[in-house]
Copies of this chain bind each other. A is one copy, B any other.
Amino acid sequence: MNENMQQYLDKAQVLIEALPYIQRFNRKIIVVKYGGSAMVDEDLKKQVIEDVTLLKLVGFKPIIVHGGGKEISKWVGKVGMEPQFINGLRVTDADTMEVAEMVLGKVNKSLVQHVEELGVRAIGISGKDGGLLRVDKKLSGGEDIGFVGEVKKVNADILYDLLEKDFLPIVCPVGMDDDFNTYNINADDAACAIARAVKAEKLAFLTDIEGVYKDPEDPKTLISELRVDEAQKLMADGYIGGGMLPKLQNCIDAIENGVSRVHILDGRIPHCLLLEIFTNRGIGTAILNGEESRYYHGE
């Protein structure tokens, strides 16, 4: 057998190795929080879309929830708006919200475009469509910082209906309060709320860090596997700080509300989703409930 042939056989072998994973997640819902570098870098973006599209095609039911962070700031500046602050916090006033919604909508349709290009049926919605995300105003340290919402109800039916019609739903984190005003929602929060509402098998956060560290200063302390009680202890002991704190809280929340497993992935690694799901190479940190091991052994 020549070298060329061997190369093809190796390819076949990779596909065969994916078999047990394809089986395991068949018809399971996987919520992917898409953000960070993976959204800015065109190559990474293409790879994330490829990954999610592949998951859809081999029988999973992925849902993408995305943010739009840096783009929003760019456009707020572009239209010459004056940022407002309360106690040092940026305020999302009505004008800012208008721009934010426009930018998130643009990002949303751009993701639809990429998925459609790969031949899969996508639909881009916001939390307004079908009343998907109902919010309350979210105060920050007791202060009203404008149209920033926290999800109080997810109307999961709309997602089930779209999944049943074989759409890949792409959701941007905008919602309405009981008076039907528009609110911005933190994309992590939205992804977590949706994952809980649909009892997702997996919730994966694409981030710009390698995972959770015991000591953020020391890359060697990256934690591969974290049980809910361990995570709570880490938080209580003050090991977790900065932006990781609310993210980890979201993870624990999700696990405690029926999501089987949450992943904090390094979105800067190409195809990190596929690697996590289809190979035995663990990427980033997996948050599990108490009884499970990270790696699946048989059934």
Q: List residues of chain A with CB under 8 Å of any chain B CB.
A: 5, 8-20, 22-23, 26, 47, 50-51, 53-54, 57-59, 75, 78-80, 98, 101-103, 105-106, 108-109, 112-114, 116-126, 128-131, 158, 161-162, 164-165, 167, 174, 176, 180, 182, 269-271, 274-275, 278-279, 281, 299
Contacts and interface: CB of A to CB of B under 8 A. Distances in A.
Given A16-B50, A180-B113, A123 B125 contact: yes
A180 to B, nearest CB: 4
B274 A12 contact: yes
Contacts of A161: 165, 167
Contact of A16 (B10, B162, B274, B299): B274
A158 to B, nearest CB: 8
Binding site of A, secondary structure by majority: helix, strand, loop or mixed? helix
Given A118-B19, A130-B167, A106 B98 contact: yes
Given A57-B23, A120-B23, A15 B18 contact: yes
B109 A174 contact: yes
A78 B123 CA distance: 29
A105 B126 CA distance: 10
12 contacts: A9-B275, A11-B17, A13-B271, A15-B54, A22-B54, A112-B129, A116-B128, A119-B299, A122-B130, A123-B129, A161-B167, A164-B165
A15 B274 contact: yes
A109 B128 CA distance: 7
Nearest to A26: B57
Contact of A278 (B15, B17, B116, B164): B15
